[in-house]
Amino acid sequence: MCIVLLYNILKYMSVKKPKIILVEDEPELADMFGTALKTAGFEVEVVGDGLMALKKIRNEKPDLVLLDLVIPEMDGYAVLEKTKQYKSTKNVCIYIWSNLTQQNEIDRAKKLGADGYMIKSNYTPAKFIEKVKSILNQK
C-alpha cells in the first residue's frame, strides 16, 4: 500500500508543468494574470521588459510566451522578430498579449510570426486561463 502511494506521489511530481513566460510591464496586470497562471498549475516567469524577455525565451525555450507589445527596453515586435529569426527559438509559441486593437497592429504581429493575438481587455483571469489551456492543448 505504501509503495503504491509513494509511486503515485512520485508520478505526480514528475509531471512537467507547462512553462509560460508572461511579458507584462504593468505591475497590477502582471500580478493578477501571473497569479492566475500559477494557481492554474503552470510554471510561470513574469518579465517586465523586452530585453529580459528575449534572454528568458532563448535560455528557457518555454511552451508559451504571452508577449505585450508596448514594453520598455525593446518593444514586443522586436522581441517577436528576433525570437523567430533564431533557429533555436523560431518554434516557440508566441501569443501577443496587448491592448492595441487596430487591425494593422494585429497584421504586423502575425506577419512577424505571432501564433495568435489576445486583446487584454477581453479577458478576465478565468477566461484568460481557459484560453491559455486551449492554446497549449493545440500544441
Question: 16-138 belongs to which CATH class?
Answer: alpha beta
- Could you report the per-residue pLDDT of 54-109, keeping only the tens digit for each? 999 999 999 999 999 999 999 999 999 999 999 999 999 999 999 999 999 999 99
List the domain boundaries for the chain: 16-138
Separation between Cα atoms, residue 33 and residue 122, nearest integer Å:
13
| pLDDT (0 to 100) of residue 14 | 52
List the grid coordinates of 111.
506577419
pTM: 0.88
Using an 8 Å Cβ cutoff, are 98 and 119 in contact?
yes
Name the band, by pLDDT with cuts 50, 70 and 90, for residue 3: low
